[in-house]
Amino acid sequence: MARSVNLGSQGLSVPAIGLGCMGMSEFYGPSDRKSNLAVLDRAIEIGCRFWDTADMYGPFTNEELIGEAIRGRRDKVVLATKFGVVRGPQGEWLGVKGGADYVRSSCEQSLKRLGTDHIDLYYQHRVDPDTPIEETVGAMADLVREGKVRFIGLSEADAGTLERAHRVHPLSALQTEYSLWSREVEETILPTVQRLGIGFVAYSPIGRGFLAGAIGDRSDLGEGDWRLSNPRFSARALAHNRQIVDGIAAIAERRGATPAQIALAWVLSRSDGLAAIPGTRRIRRLEENWAAQAIELSPSELAALSALADIGVEGERY
């Protein structure tokens, strides 16, 4: 069932389905550490070993959670983390940084929280508009030469920035939102990464859970869930965007699959050099997402899913 994806041309191989760990620490309401560790244990058992975190999740506590989960079995996981979105100890948002000194200090702190001597894939979380990308990537390249980082990437970068960064040091991956209701990358970003030989990692491939079909209205979102402030989860947007879910659900029913699995299978069909990192805090959903790798959509199903773009999406991504 497991499929491997080569991200870029630098030798980074990961499962096609990974695990976005952000929601285990923040943004989607309260979570339970014991339950989260059980999910991470199960992920290793089934082979879902490409894990994504960031220093700002929590803040800082998500890396600590991952560090606890990989203790004594670091070799079982391809570990990705990110720097660049700056937060204070109380969670305050302090902007974006990409200066060379900040890159180095962020890496040292992440290594300590993760309890490891190296990061497999290190991303700049958001591009710092006040720092040349050449400086940021140059500092990341130094970390590669020192053995603290194996591969590097960017997140939510535009095509021109990718070109400039890739000239400084080969990028293995770009991580950006991509799903059946977030397809902005198709115009210039996907062609650029394919031309440059950079892998692509799709975050929120199930539309922050919406495309799974379980969110009918705002009452389905609990207290502390950041989606309540997201434009796509307003009452008006939910009512309109439900048409997209209905189209996915119709194909899922015919295939004996779940809407989440169909949404994931569509994303995986878009490129050979693409991996997806859905998030979850439930073992059942982890296993469901993992099984999506086995679904091969027919040309007519792919066409029907792609045509859902004609419905249009109500609400901005953020």
pLDDT (tens place) for every residue of the chain, 318 residues total? 689 999 999 999 999 999 999 999 999 988 999 999 999 999 999 999 999 999 999 999 999 999 999 999 999 999 999 999 999 988 999 999 999 999 999 999 999 999 999 999 999 999 999 999 999 999 999 999 999 999 999 999 999 999 999 999 999 999 999 999 999 999 999 999 999 999 999 999 999 999 999 899 999 999 889 999 999 999 999 999 999 999 999 999 999 999 999 999 999 999 999 999 999 999 999 999 999 999 999 999 999 999 999 999 999 999
The model's pLDDT over 57-112, given as tens digits with 9 standing for 90+, comes to: 999 999 999 999 999 999 999 999 999 999 998 899 999 999 999 999 999 999 99
How far apart, in whole angstroms, are the C-alpha atoms of residue 218 and residue 235? 7
Contact by Cβ (8 Å): 232, 241: yes
Q: What is the pTM assigned to this prediction?
A: 0.97
Active site residues: 57
Q: What is the mean pLDDT of the chain?
A: 97
State the sign of the Cα–Cα–Cα–Cα dihedral 76, 149, 151, 200: positive
Architecture of domain 4-214+270-295: Alpha-Beta Barrel (3.20)
CA nearest to 228, candidates 202, 212, 209, 213 = 209
State the sign of the Cα–Cα–Cα–Cα dihedral 284, 286, 289, 290: negative
Q: Which residue has the tokens 């969670």?
A: 91
Amino acid found at 191: P
